[in-house]
Amino acid sequence: MEDLIKKADILVEALPYMRKFHDKTVVIKYGGSAMVNDEIKKSVLEDITLLKYVGVNPVIVHGGGPVINETLDRFGIESQFHQGLRITTKEIMEVVEMVLVGQVNKEIVSLANQFGSKSIGISGKDGNLIEAEDYELEDDVDLGYVGQVTEINPEVLDNLINSGFLPVVSPIGVGSEGESYNINADLVAGQLAAALDADKLILLTNVEGILEEESDKDSLISSLTIEEAEDMIETGQIAGGMIPKVNSCIDALDGGVRRTHILDGRISHSLLLEIFTDRGIGTMITK
């Protein structure tokens, strides 16, 4: 009986949050360990399905770097990186699009549908959802078909959400001449959240969140303002792969999103812990 009462207490604790987020849009960047580990993958998509059933409107934006690496290795295609970005030739772009749109996206859609979501997969090329152009660096290195977002046209997503679907978005952009662009999924998620007027942006990652000291796992920062986050980038406390995640949060906040979160996707049911409990986890960045 005590176990049953505890479960009832958890539901009561979640009730005000269910009311608060009913019919609100939450954009979830899905990647890292959450995509590689089968148990965590199942947990994440169960969480997202539950969000859908209690009246939240989740939108998934996914990455797929490890699968792209495996596929390029299998085809014997070498990759070069510059400042953490994959130099994307036309040949590599074809593989990236094949993997993200034709494989990873459909695996997520299929698994989500097994849990009861009415899920549908699209890429940024569908309905010109994500318009893009060349990503330019200050040192003028040509990154090939690496793109940056120029425009988000959210009508197709609005229609899917209003029709009760769970959209799963591949971060492939479309250029002015119909060419495909490989775009960082974190940055896509931030700009998509702003265009959809989302209430929350949640980035699932492979670390606890933003740490005061990178070597100290107990130095998690639970909350940051935009100004504090920008200062930490300037001083090097936020570096490497965490920079696009933080910039994604800043883009979303500047675009009107209320809250942004960087969560440890390795924790079982991290989404539910963040959205439906008093405690929350990870790092929240706000205005």
Asked if residue 266 belongs to a known ligand binding site, the reply is no
Asked if residue 124 belongs to a known ligand binding site, the reply is no
CA 58 to chain centre: 11
CA 25 to chain centre: 14
Asked if residue 64 belongs to a known ligand binding site, the reply is yes
Q: Virtual CA dihedral for 45, 71, 264, 121, nearest 10 degrees?
A: -30
**C-alpha atoms less than 13 angstroms from C-alpha of 134 in its C-beta half-sphere:** 10
Asked if residue 31 belongs to a known ligand binding site, the reply is no
Burial 220-242 (b: 16+ CB within 10 A, else e): bbeebebeebeebeeeebbeeeb
The answer to whether residues 43 and 33 touch, using CB atoms and an 8 Å cutoff, is: no
272, containing H or E segment:
helix 270-276
The answer to whether residues 107 and 89 touch, using CB atoms and an 8 Å cutoff, is: no
Radius of gyration for the alpha carbons in the chain, expressed in angstroms and rounded: 19
202: left (phi over 0), alpha (psi -120 to 50) or beta: beta
Question: Which residues are annotated binding-site positions for substrate?
Answer: 64-65, 86, 182
Q: Which residues are annotated as a binding site?
A: 64-65, 86, 182
